[in-house]
Amino acid sequence: MEDRAREMPAESADGQTEKQTGKQAEEPVYPRKRHEFLWKLLRPLAAFIVWLRFGFRAVPAKVKGPFMLVCNHVTNWDPILAGCSFKEPMYFVASEHILRSGLAGKLIAWAMDPIPRQKSGSAAGTVMAMTRRLRKGYSVAVFPEGNRTWDGVTGSFLPSIGKLARTSGASLVTYKLTGGYLASPRWSGDSARRGRMEGRVVKVYSPQELKAMTPAAINEAIGRDLREDACARARKNPIRYRGRRLAEHLETLLFLCPKCGSGALQSKDDRVRCWKCGFTFRYLPTGFLAGEDLPYDNIRDWNAWQTGEIRRMCDEAGDDPIFTDTGVRTDQVLFASDTKALGKGEMRLYRD
C-alpha cells in the first residue's frame, strides 16, 4: 500500500495533480551520494566561515528525515546557516534567479540541486517537486515568506504551506534564525556586520500530529514558531554589530524624510542626511537610530509610518501618477535561466 502511494502523481497544495496542470510526471535521478559527500565535506567549513563573518552559531539538531523544514528569511546566507545545524543533506527551495547566476548558478545546481521557485509565478510545480523528494525519503527546506525581511519582522506566507505540510507524510521542522537582520540587513547591499547570530530548531511536528491538525492550525503554529522582531529583541538585549559604512544604502528602505516629507535622503558611512532640509541622523551598531528631533529610534517604526504615508499619497493622488521614472528596462523572467527583454521606456506608478 505504501509503495503504491509513492507511485501516485504528486498533488499540489491547491489540489492539482501533474496531469491536471499539463505537466508530465518526472522522476529525476538524484545523485544522492554526491550530495551526501559534499554536505559532509562542506558543512564544517561553512560553519567556520559564517562564524567568522557574522558570529553565527548553529545549535545541532537531532532530527531524523524525511522532514520539511520551514525557516524565517533574513539573509542571503540562510540556506547555509540553517544547513549548519543538520548532519543530513536537505534540498532547499530557491528563487530561480539563483540558477541564472552564470557559473555560480551551475555550481549550486550541481552541488545542492535546489528546487527552483519562480517569483510571482505559480507554485504548483515547486510543490510537486517538494512532494516527490519527500516521498523518496529526502528532506526539503523552504523559506515560506519567499522574501527577506526589510524591517526585521517576520513576514506573512502563503496559506498553502499548511496543506503541503499535512499531506506530505513527513515531519515538519520549524527553525528560527535570530540576530541575522542586524548582521546583514536587506537594505545594506553586500555589507556584513559581526555580532551575535544563532539558528536553532523551535519544534518538530510528527506526521501523526500534523494529520490531527487543520492546515490553518499548522499555518498558525508555523507563524508562531518563526515570529521574530529584530527591534524588540535588540531593545531587550542590545548587541553591537561591528562593520564599516553601517548606514550606507539605508535610503533604499527609509526614503521619506520625516521632517520635510521629501524623498531626498542620502547615506554615507554611518549617517543619513536629507539634502533638502538638512535633517540628519546616525545608524548605531546596535541597530537603533540617533539624532536631534528624531521621531523614531528604529527602522521598524519608521517603515510603518512611511508605509502609512505612501497609502495616504495613493488615496490623494487621483488619476495623476504618484511616481515617474525614465529609461527603465523591462525583462520577463520565463523560468530558471531564461529571460526575455521586453523593451525600455518610461515607468509610471498609479494608485490602482
- Cα–Cα–Cα angle for 216, 128, 137, nearest 5°? 90
Q: How many domains does the chain have?
A: 3
Q: Please report, for the domain that includes residue 6, its CATH number.
A: 3.40.1130
pLDDT tens figures, 291-343: 999 999 999 999 999 999 988 888 888 788 877 778 888 887 665 556 788 88
Does one domain contain both 301 and 346? no
- The answer to whether residue 244 sits within a structural domain is no
Query: Sorting pLDDT into bands at 50, 70 and 90, what band is 265?
Result: very high
Task: Mention every residue, 6+ apart, whose C-beta is less than 8 A from residue 199.
Answer: 56, 57, 58, 59, 71, 81, 82, 84, 85, 175, 176, 177, 178
pLDDT tens figures, 90-100: 999 987 767 66
- The answer to whether residue 209 sits within a structural domain is yes
Does one domain contain both 128 and 190? yes
Question: What are 331's three cell numbers?
Answer: 525583462
- The answer to whether residue 297 sits within a structural domain is yes
Residue-number span of the structural domain to which 350 is assigned: 325-352
Among 236, 265, 289, which residue terminates a domain? 236
How many C-alpha atoms does 37 have within 13 Å on its Cβ side? 6
Question: What are 209's three cell numbers?
Answer: 500530529
pLDDT at position 5: 37
Report how far residue 39's alpha carbon sits from residue 245's, in angstroms, rounded to the nearest whole number.
34
Question: What are 72's three cell numbers?
Answer: 524565517
Does one domain contain both 293 and 156? no
Question: What are 164's three cell numbers?
Answer: 503541503
- The answer to whether residue 231 sits within a structural domain is yes
Report how far residue 300's alpha carbon sits from residue 295's, in angstroms, rounded to the nearest whole number.
12
**Segment holding 92, helix H or strand E:** strand 90-95
Q: Does residue 102 surpass a pLDDT of 80?
A: no
Among 236, 271, 287, which residue terminates a domain? 236
Does one domain contain both 70 and 166? yes
Does one domain contain both 133 and 54? yes
Percent of the chain with pLDDT over 90: 64
- The answer to whether residue 245 sits within a structural domain is no
pLDDT tens figures, 103-133: 777 787 777 888 888 765 567 888 899 999 9
Max CA separation in the chain (angstroms) = 72
Q: Does residue 7 surpass a pLDDT of 60?
A: no
Does one domain contain both 289 and 339? no
Does one domain contain both 290 and 329? no
Does one domain contain both 11 and 50? yes
Beta-carbon neighbour count of residue 88 at 10 Å? 17
pLDDT tens figures, 29-73: 466 788 899 999 999 999 999 999 999 999 999 999 899 999 999
Q: Are 178 and 37 in contact (CB under 8 A)?
A: no
Among 182, 202, 236, which residue terminates a domain? 236
Does one domain contain both 111 and 166? yes
Q: Are 282 and 291 in contact (CB under 8 A)?
A: yes
Q: Are 328 and 304 in contact (CB under 8 A)?
A: no
Query: Sorting pLDDT into bands at 50, 70 and 90, what band is 221?
Result: very high
- The answer to whether residue 16 sits within a structural domain is yes
Question: What are 275's three cell numbers?
Answer: 539634502
- The answer to whether residue 242 sits within a structural domain is no
Does one domain contain both 63 and 187? yes
> What phi, psi does 305 have (nearest 5°)?
-65, -45
Does one domain contain both 276 and 203? no
Query: Sorting pLDDT into bands at 50, 70 and 90, what band is 24?
Result: very low
- The answer to whether residue 241 sits within a structural domain is no
pLDDT at position 267: 97
Does one domain contain both 185 and 273? no
- Give every strand in the sheet of 56-58, ordered side by side: 56-58, 197-205, 171-178, 67-71, 139-142, 90-95, 115-117
136-153 per-residue burial string, b: 16 or more CB within 10 A, e: under 16: eebbbbbbbbbebbbbbb
pLDDT tens figures, 128-175: 999 999 999 999 999 999 899 999 999 999 889 999 999 999 999 999
Report how far residue 41's alpha carbon sits from residue 15's, in angstroms, rounded to the nearest whole number.
39
